[in-house]
Structure 1
Amino acid sequence: MNTIGLTLSCFAFLLVAFPSFADLRVQFIEGAPKDRFIIENLGDCDLGAVDIVIDVSASEAGLIFDTTGASEGVGVFQPFEVTKGEQYLLEPPNISDADQRATLNVTGLGQGEAVAFTIDVDDTAGQRGITVSAGEISGTSVTLLKGNRSYSAVMDTDAQVVVETEPCSP
């Protein structure tokens, strides 16, 4: 076998042996008064139509989304606001004051693309209230729903999580 044939054979083996995935990273960045979530496609293929659910109910500090002045949130409040990738949202999510779950209907999020949004996240169990530390958001789950499949992971004390998915479709 010549050098080109051998190289192509090795490349084909690598494609079969190491499939591509559409993994998703979600990061939380504390920032008073607006906190930020960044959702990024780390994978090798587009995500297609998916729902991304961020659930803070199991977080360490009893977190809530503080979108109006009516809840047990502390001090200021901030509604949901897209700061990047609005074109990937089918519609703005409906996040009410004191909700603990945000569901984003996303479509066409390509490789390396991101959706980012700001919102106020407050703790109800700790003493800090208006600020949320990385340790306080740990336990937050992120679920990617694609068709009848579900992929979940839990944020760690670094305030981020990678949700691993199935191999990309050919």
Structure 2
Amino acid sequence: MFKALLPAAVSVFLFAGASAHANIEVSFIESAPKDRFVISNTGQCELKDVILNLDLSNSSGGLIFDTTSTGAGVDVFQPFEVRKGTMELLSSGKVEDGDSMLSLSIESIQANDSVSFTIDVDDTLPQSELGNIRVSGSEITNASAEIIVQGNTPSVGMFKSDGKALMLISPC
């Protein structure tokens, strides 16, 4: 009889010990004329009071934000624009042309949902795979994304050649 109860007891113990988690995936999507960043909550918990810091300065392509017709960017330019969700720039009211970093305050991201924004990103390489106005996945490699949820310890993810960075968040 003990043998018959053991599997049930083990699964109750394992279920009771499991806690809900929240992970964030930041995806860069090259598109013309506006590039897009999608911040996805791939976990099971709503996240509130989120800060996202994007740093392109270590990217393989020397990426920059191209937000005006004059300055460091090439040809096509697009300013920062929220597409989905409630978020605002922390550093100032706008991203300056040629910046490689930005910081956002995101009100909340529901479980299995996302928020997004558009902006133009250019590379600064003398010779690049798609030209300076378009960014390949390999050019965003080594850029970083940092997530801070409700003032907790930051979690940092590095962009891979698929244009995605993953941050693991503490259980909620």
Whether these two folds match at TM > 0.5 is: yes
Confirm or deny that 1:167 pairs with 2:171: yes
| Cα offset, 1:13, TM superposition | 2.4
In structure 1, the gaps of 5 or more residues are none
| Cα offset, 1:45, TM superposition | 0.7
CA distance in 2, matches of 1:28, 1:131: 12
CA distance in 1, matches of 2:81, 2:45: 27
Aligned pairs, how many? 164
CA contact (8 A) 1:61 1:126 kept: no
Structure 1 segments (4+ residues) deviating >3 Å: 6-9
Deviations 1:32-65 (A, max 9, x none): 2211111000111111212011110100011100
CA distance in 2, matches of 1:39, 1:126: 30
Please give the TM-score of this superposition, normalised by the length of structure 2. Answer: 0.85
Please give the TM-score of this superposition, normalised by the length of structure 1. Answer: 0.86
| Cα offset, 1:148, TM superposition | 4.5
1:85-104 equivalent positions in 2, closer than 5 A: 85=85, 88-89=86-87, 91-92=88-89, 94-104=94-104
In structure 2, the gaps of 5 or more residues are none
Confirm or deny that 1:34 pairs with 2:45: no
1:39-54 equivalent positions in 2, closer than 5 A: 39-54=39-54
Counterpart among 125, 138, 142 of residue 141 in structure 2: 138
| Cα offset, 1:92, TM superposition | 4.2
CA distance in 2, matches of 1:110, 1:95: 26
Query: Taking structure 1 as reference, are residues 102 and 15 closer, same or farther at Cα in structure 2, changes over 3 Å only?
Result: farther
Same amino acid, percent of matched pairs: 40
CA distance in 1, matches of 2:171, 2:30: 32
Name the structure where strand makes up a greater proportion of residues. Answer: 2
